[in-house]
Each structure stands twice: as structure tokens, then as C-alpha cells.
Amino acid sequence: MAPPLSIAIVGGGSIGSSIALKLMTMGKHNVTIVARPGSMRLVQLQQDGIVTAQGDICRVPVVEALDATVPYDLVIVTTLAHQAESLLPLLKTSAATSILFLFHIFNPERLLDIFGERASFGLPFIQASNNEEGVLHATFSMKTPLGARRWVNLFNTSGIPAVYEPKMALWLRCHTSFCIGLVATCVVAKRREAGATWQEARTAALALHATNTVIKSLGYPLYPSAKVVMDKLPTAFVAGFLWLFSRIKVSRNQLGKGKAAAECYTLVDSVVDVAQKAGLQSVIPVLHAVKTL
């Protein structure tokens, strides 16, 4: 039996806590959570540990900052991409062997340039939330795509369904369009606790197609094949899908809550920045429009 790994998880929110819980209880690994200084979540974890909706309690070491001198086998970053920016210099000097970035990002190649082979990517397909008391509700019904086979094995043996994605960086870049369209629609739907209007869904659909235009202009193929199919569909069809999806309560509650809007708008800004540098001025107003919904 392989010895337990030493793992730091940056981000003590619902996703970070869910992963930590599984890695500790089922995987039997040594896990430390890095939670935001001064946050209520930091206090909850320090005082109560990870408390699940089923009444289970998992005591976990919690710190306010990553210790760059500790030779962790793995650091898992579960914050949003823009929140991780300030951590990059520390992560670069960290003694950690490997770093796994688990968030939406439009330009993963930038992190590969910084961290080289130490870095790998994934996107947590975990339905999780913490209530005001910090109680964790988590469902592991979908497989999390990961770009390194070793971490696929780590997740699977710890009770977190995962699947190997050989083109993870490209997968993330191409998933941006779908994320912008879907999340923008769900955010506005969640705000009014009803479905999005047709015009709102159409605005999101146009942004989805605009993002694909930017991706293709950079010379990247759309990936996987479902993204190619989506790109070829008329705007009205995509808008119809988004319009219907926003009317599913559980979907808009999951994708339209909390920091979803900030994550979506940050992705939009990333695409706009690339579009400006590439001279694709025509798509910029279309992308900016989703931020006004």
C-alpha cells in the first residue's frame, strides 16, 4: 500500500472542504487547508472542523497562509482563478513537488509557462455548498476531469470520481464559452428566482459564440466534439437551451449562486483582453453585454 501523501489545499470553501474531507477520511492522506485570513470560514474550520450535513465531523489542520518551505507532495488550488493571482509568486517558490489548479481559466498556458511540469489542471465537478453555520452539503455524482493520471488515481481511491483528460488545457480554454453562456444565464435567473428572459438568454448565447470565435482565431480547435456541435448551432437554438436550463431550479441554484457572477465576469475579461490583443474588436461589445445582465 502506497504511503499517504502530504497535501495542502488552498481554499477552505465548499469545494476545498469537500476534497479535503474525502482525501482525509477515505484516502487517509495528510491534508492541510489554507483558508483566507480573517474569514468566517477560517474560524469555522478552526473551531468545528469540517461538519457535514450527515452530522460527521472531520478535524483538519487549518492555516492562514501556505508555508512555502514545506515540501508538500501536492498543493491543490481551489480558489477562483483571479483569487489565485496573488498566490502565484509564493507557489512558484514553494517546495511543493506538484501543483494542481482546479478552476476555470481561459489561458492555462500562462500557468504552464510559470510552473512547467509541476503544474496540472482540472475542473471539480462537485456539487457543494456551505450554509451560514459552515455545514457542508456535497454530492459527488459526476466525474472530475483531470490532466494528470496520478491525480485521477488519487481522487478515485479517495472517493472522488475522476477521469483522465489528455488535453486538459485545451479543454479548459474551450469550456470557457460554455461556462460564460451558462453561468451568465443562471446568475440573472437566480437573482430573480425565475428563469431568464429570452433576450437575456440570447445575449448569453451571443457571448458563447463570440468566445468560440476568439478561440478559433488563436488557432485552437474547439474541443471536445460537443463544443464543435454547439458552435455550429444557430444562436436562437443555443438561446433556447439556455432559456430552458435557467428554468431548472436546482441548476440555477448551483450555477447562479455565490461567487458565480464574479467568476463568469473574470472569464469574460480574460477573453476580452485576448480579443483586444488579437484585433477582434467586433466581439468585444458582445462579450461586455453579458456583464450588464
| The pLDDT of residue 253 | 86
Which grid cell is 61? 489542520
Q: Where along the chain do its domains lie?
A: 6-164, 173-288
pLDDT for position 261 = 87
CA-CA distance, 214 to 231, in Å (whole number)?
Answer: 12
Backbone angles phi, psi at 98, to 5 degrees: -135, 155
Superfamily, domain 6-164: NAD(P)-binding Rossmann-like Domain (3.40.50.720)
pLDDT at 167: 98
The C-alpha R_g of the chain, in whole angstroms, comes to: 19
Q: What is the pLDDT of residues 82-115, one digit of tens each?
A: 999 999 999 999 999 999 999 999 999 999 999 9
pLDDT at 202: 98
Give me the pLDDT at residue 106, please.
97
DSSP output for 25-64: HTS--EEEEE--TT-HHHHHHHHH-EEBTTS-EE---EES
Q: Which parts of the chain have pLDDT scores under 50?
A: none
Residue for grid cell 486538459: 168
- Give 155-179 pLDDT, tens digit per residue: 999 999 999 999 999 999 999 999 9
Q: What whole-number distance in Å separates Cα of residue 37 and Cα of residue 40?
A: 9
- Spatial separation of the C-alpha atoms in residues 213 and 283, rounded to whole Å: 8
Res 259: pLDDT: 82
Residue pair 188/293 in contact by the 8 Å Cβ criterion: yes
Question: What was the pLDDT predicted at 2?
Answer: 81
Q: Report the pLDDT value the prediction gives residue 270, as an integer from 0 to 100.
A: 96
